[in-house]
Structure formats: C-alpha cells, structure tokens
Amino acid sequence: MSDLLAGSEWWFLERLEYEGALLKVDIAEGIISSNAEDVKIDEGLSIEEASPIEITEKSKHVRIQFPHVLAHQITDESYWAAEVGDTKEIDGLILCQHTDSAYLEYVTKNSLIDDLVDDPPCHYSLNLADDIIDVITTAKPSIELILNSNTESSF
C-alpha cells in the first residue's frame, strides 16, 4: 500500500494521537542487529545467537494519518488472533485495507454509522511488531516520511 513501508517487516509504534476524527500514528522501522546474542527466557531455557530488532539512527520514521475516523482500536500483538475467513486483505502487509472484515461488520452493526454516515466505511489495519491498530474510516490514509523524528515535537 506504500513504498515507504516496503523493505522492512518490523515497525514499532512511537506515538498515536486522536483528535477531531483524525488519527495520527508515528511508527519507526526496526532493524535487525548484526550483533547476535544469547537470550535467557527462563531457568535453563535460552535462545542462542538471537539477533535483536532495534530502532537505530538508520531507522525510517513514518507518519500515517487517518482522516474521518469512525472507530479505532489497538490490540497488543501477543493477544491478536485473526480467524481464517475473518477478512480478505486486498492490499498491504504492514498497512492493510480489508474487505468483509468481522471488525467492520461489528462496528457498523453496533453503531449508528449506517444511519448517519453517507460515505461507505473502510477497514484499515497497521500490523506492527508489538501492536495491531484497526481503523474504520471513510477516507484513505496519507503516509509521509518524518525526516528528523528528534526535532518534531508535535503532529
């Protein structure tokens, strides 16, 4: 869905802000470290030669803005489960647009969206390393590269 997100499968949520039906999400690219290390999981259990995924000075920082948001939810990735047949992804791996999703069906059946909103609602999701963000909106999101995330103080 975006060339800015291509080339990396690891993205991390940095900031999320919702105001006036506009959802702004800043994400940072995770880069696989070249320094492998042993990771202790539990007593007597470890993973040898694991490469951590880190946000570095080489990481891209991207802002995604969803206008006309009707609903959104954030789910910790470790608790997220998509059922087979739950949705048909039509575009994207990180930023996806869905059709026939259970979340879109749930939101429209349990709200007044069908009665009060003229434009058809769409379901997008951001599939991040630690979080899944689902968004119901009537407009396409915009995506932009944040050139220097350290100097930007607000959306």
Q: What sign does the CA torsion over 82, 60, 39, 130 have?
A: negative
In a domain, 60, yes or no: yes
pLDDT at residue 152 greater than cutoff 50: no
User: How much is the average pLDDT of 15-41?
Assistant: 92
d(CA 144, CA 94): 15
Instruction: Quick: pLDDT tens for 48-60.
Output: 888 889 999 999 9
In a domain, 63, yes or no: yes
In a domain, 1, yes or no: no
In a domain, 6, yes or no: no
- For strands 122-127 and 53-54, give the pairing: unpaired
Q: Which domain holds residue 133?
A: 11-35+48-145
User: How much is the average pLDDT of 105-109?
Assistant: 95
Structure tokens at 92: 């994207």
In a domain, 80, yes or no: yes
Residue 89's pLDDT is what?
53
In a domain, 2, yes or no: no
In a domain, 155, yes or no: no
Domain count, the chain: 1
pLDDT at residue 16 greater than cutoff 60: yes
pLDDT at residue 151 greater than cutoff 50: no
d(CA 146, CA 151): 10
pLDDT at residue 134 greater than cutoff 80: yes
**What is the chain's alpha carbon radius of gyration, rounded to the nearest angstrom?**
18
Task: Give the model's confidence band at 129: pLDDT under 50 very low, under 70 low, under 90 confident, else very high.
Answer: very high
Query: For a pLDDT cut of 70, what percent of the chain falls above it?
Result: 85
In a domain, 21, yes or no: yes
d(CA 10, CA 27): 10
